[in-house]
Structure 1
Amino acid sequence: MTPGSWDGGREELNPALPAEEFQSAAEAIVANIEQVIEGKTATVRLALAVLLAEGHLLIEDVPGVGKTKLAKALARSIDCSVRRIQFTPDLLPSDVTGVNVYNQENHDFEFKPGAVFANLVVGDEINRASPKTQSALLECMEERQVTVDGVTYPLQTPFMVIATQNPIEMEGTYPLPEAQRDRFTARIAMGYPDANAELAMLDVHSAQDPLENLVAVSDAARVREMIATVRAVHVSDAVKNYAISLVTATRESGDLRLGASPRATLQLLRTAKAIAALDGRDYVLPDDLQALAVPVLAHRIIPTADAQLSRRTTDAIVSDLVHRLPVPSERRQGTQAFERR
């Protein structure tokens, strides 16, 4: 997309894919990313699930573990518009959203789209920008639109922000505000690779960067079809109530002074539907919610001072809540409810 050429308008979602085509497309994307990221299949699948859940992904970890490579590999695996933003302390909000520029030829203002006008937006080291610049992403991440000087410009589908950040203890970082963190569907950590994966990395990456030869294995139209498939995944009432119980437990926990929001409940279910589809199911199980509770909920909550003094992380608090909360009596109630439809 050239500057000034944004025509607005969201595409309608394509028809849902048959199960076999969905699995084939998903496996192709995962395998493509794993050419760059070795030994992190679960992390790669979760990143793809967030895309198919129409969410946004926050990758948080120490420098040098492949955060940006994962984001770029996912972006390059899909033939759609991709823009990268390198967040720095001097980055301005208009660099992100766009700005109206006076055109001398027609004597009128012309909108120059910013970096968010793309299907996939890769934000590198988002917490190195000032809070003022970080807040430029709030509207587009939640409402999938950008408003500049009173004019609203819709964003296209799919739209996903993949942001990386170093832990807030690192120098030169600004903590993301609660409103910003809550807009990220999931937060994942890359972690260090095991010995075999690191050995494979040395063999592959020492000669050349595998990102240079990575080719797209899908496109925006196919992703829209996959999103339609995920939307059709069934969630039984028992599973919905279990999701509400998980989120309510964070609001009532004595270790937390801020629990998860209703947006968290919705995104937990959306991501669970994507995980179910990736597993070849057309229904959600309580196990899906349990597996996603930490990546989807932990970055949204704030521990009390006592919990912080006890060095209890939000991940550990959410894990404890999951283990204490009873699951629906029929663990496969999602299957039975679907079969009765």
Structure 2
Amino acid sequence: MSQSLVRTAAGWLLGLMLAVAAGIVAVNLVNDSIASPQQPVREYFDALQKGEGEKALGLLHASVPQSNAAMLDGTALQTAAARTTGVEFGAAVERGGNQVMVPVDYTIDGSRLHTDFLLERSSTEWLFFHKWSFVPAALPVLDVTVVNSSEATLNGVPVNMPNGRNSFAVFYPGEYEATLNGQYFSAPPTRATLSSREAPAAPLNLLTEATPALKDAVSGKVKEFLDSCAAEAGKQQKLQPDCPFYHATNNRVIDGTIDWSITQYPPVRIEPFGGRWVVAPLDGKARIKARQVDLFTGALTDLNAVHDFSFTTRLDIEADTIKLTPLLSY
């Protein structure tokens, strides 16, 4: 064989070896990047940030337990992922059986957290490129309760709360905030951070309270009732009117001189009890002024007395309507 032919063959052989080496490098680069087990995890985090619940669910291959699905898409999902920052995808750890664990570190509201995602090699494309997918599992569930309310807000989305409770299927990682901001009832926000399926968050419990608007409205109705009662007692010239207050005496009070007034209106406290809202007993003071005659001496004197009184009421609230019914015992 001539030297020229040998050199040509050697050149072709070297070129082939370089091409093979370049192909191996290219395959490894692809398998370490877009075909790496970290790639579906990156896509999953991206779907969460964009509020694309259908895509996130498809990537995760997760089943949805029997629960409310309000947190699995759109604004609610974006809000859950919005506080997730500083995401770092670690090197995959072999778990055997074509499975790997992909560690992810991130920060939510200043706390550094960690989640492990289990993936499996599902197939190979073009003979060389690995295809990875999440090992199927069920989504976690977040329980929410609210005192004496059939509605609440979770991650900015109004949700129904039958009998004051509900369960929501949620993605992870994420942060979930429950609030109640009604006209007459509200609850301070409470948050839960979910970092994995295996460590579900504690239930979110909303402790509902009457708003200042409701207290003011009930106080106004209490004042209206007492003022009306005092005016009617004066009009009818009664010492023991159909009111929470009365005056008892052995003297004869001169008709036409009786004047009732409220000197201290009851402070209003509205509290939950037995699945409804009740007004705590109302305690106040009433003054009676009149002229009276001592039946033993015949002396004429001024009557000016202040009496403590107490009564209870029934509170009924329907939509924007407040009804207060005094419950008087005689």
On whether the aligned pair clears a TM of 0.5, the verdict is no
TM-score by length of 1: 0.18
Whose strand fraction is larger, Structure 1's or Structure 2's? Answer: 2
- Bigger-Rg structure (1/2): 2
TM-score by length of 2: 0.19
